[in-house]
Amino acid sequence: MPCLLRYLERDYLAHYRFSNIVLLRPSMSFMLIQTPNPLTLKDALPNFSKTTHIFLPINDCRNANQAEGGSHWSLLLVSIVDGVAFHYDSLNPANREEAITTTKKLGTLLGKQLQFLDLPDSPQQENSSDCGVFVCVQMKHLLLKKLMRADKEQKVSMSMGGKHIDASHGRKAMLDIIEGFRKEGESRRS
């Protein structure tokens, strides 16, 4: 997941200087959900004062000593401008409580009440191992096909209803991204 975030930031968000979208790392999302007082994280997290949207991978790990553990991932997309947190869970409602807790804590951090919207029309995985792929594919789709194409004043439907996710295609796309980073690193070392 971190490779995809880096790829999206470098290859897409960097070209949209005025997008003000933050892709929070899984470890930062985990830290937010585990911290009793989210205001203590203000200096550790990005400055959200000009941010319009935040993407947060959500994990069901309850052990504060095991960052990025757990058995299931889902995606929380927070529209700060609209005051809404959209939850996409491919095993709905597996991560609902974690997403609600994260929404409340992020609202406290932002000094703004956020409405939580669980989206039951999110594409559902057919096994117990594709949740991370679903999070990555949904994040890329929502960022590139919805938010980055929207007019500043335009309201955009954040529903993933009717969107089919081919997990094997998503996995291959992620491997291609990783391979691209590997080749880039090799050429820099040469």
Catalytic residues: 72, 89, 131
Buried b (16+ CB within 10 A) or exposed e, 50-71: ebbbbbbbbbbbeeeeebeebe
H or E segment at 79?
strand 73-79
Q: Which residue has the tokens 């979208």?
A: 21
User: Does a cis peptide bond (omega within 30 degrees of 0) precede residue 93?
Assistant: yes
Q: Which two tokens stand for residue 101?
A: 């807790």
Q: Are strands 73-79 and 53-59 parallel, antiparallel or unpaired?
A: antiparallel
Cα–Cα distance, 68 to 1 (Å, whole number): 11
Cβ contact 102:91 at 8 Å = no
